[in-house]
Amino acid sequence: MDDATPTDPGLVGPSQRIEGILAGFAPQLGRDAVAYGNHVRRVFGLVRAQGPQLTADDLEQTAIAAVFHDLGVWTHHTFDYLEPSIALAAGYLDAEGLAAWGPRVHTMILEHHKLRPYRGDPVVEWFRRADLCDLSFGLRRSGIPRAAYRDLAAAFPSAGFHRRIAQLATTRAITHPLRPAPMMRW
């Protein structure tokens, strides 16, 4: 099989919710719009790869969390972005009449850089694993099939996302040496 051909077309299928929200933030994302958008799409697909039994609401909540989870980096120009990202997601949920989804979306964003597994909601843990898998170029898969990452990376290439995150992390480490990674949680 050609490596560029997804083995599961459902993993790379479009999400209208993701595309709609990303389009609204294109000006803030600027030259990083494709890179960040592809990261969002890969994370969403990697959650789907772990939870084939996800409900329609689970998928929509995951799509929203995926778009907003790192967005504060670009909208608030900070590497201490969890709270701004959570606030953006809460504003979106309120505007869409989906405030009831707030606690789960909040938790998915807040815990996505947790160093240890998240206990409780499996979708939150799948989201955490998906983000780590993508940030590590598929090296830290935590049970995510290698083919899922490979297929998603082929469909949605990095487009400079990993390089941009490395730049931002380096700048943060230089300017805040005592707190270089404020988004990390135990």
Three-state secondary structure call for residue 144? coil
Convert the pLDDT of each residue in 117-167 to its tens digit: 999 999 999 999 999 999 998 888 888 989 999 999 999 999 988 898 888
Q: Into how many domains does the chain fold?
A: 1
Residue 4's pLDDT is 30
In a domain, 83, yes or no: yes
Residue 154 domain boundaries: 16-175
Find out whether 32 and 50 touch, Cβ atoms under 8 Å.
no
- Residue 122 maps to a domain: yes
Secondary structure of residue 4 in the 3-state scheme: coil
Residues 73-106: tens digit of each pLDDT: 999 999 889 999 999 999 999 999 999 999 999 9
Q: Yes or no: say if 173 and 29 are a contact pair by the CB < 8 Å rule.
A: no
Of 2-6, 43-47, 141-145, 177-181, which gets the smallest average pLDDT? 2-6
Going by pLDDT thresholds of 50, 70 and 90, the confidence category of residue 182 is low
User: What number of other Cβ atoms are within 10 A of residue 27's Cβ?
Assistant: 10
Per DSSP, 114 falls in state B
CA-wise closest residue to 105 among 95, 114, 93? 93
- Does 68 map to a domain? yes
Is residue 141 included in any domain, yes or no?
yes
Q: Rounded to an integer, what distance in angstroms lies between the CA atom of residue 76 and that of residue 19?
A: 21
What pLDDT was estimated at residue 134?
96
What local confidence, expressed as pLDDT, does residue 184 receive? 67
- Domain membership flag for residue 1: no
| Domain contains 38 | yes
> Which pLDDT does position 7 carry in this prediction?
37
Domain contains 2:
no
Distance CA(185)–CA(63), nearest Å, equals: 22
Residue 182 belongs to some domain of the structure = no
Q: What's the mean pLDDT in 20-41? A: 97
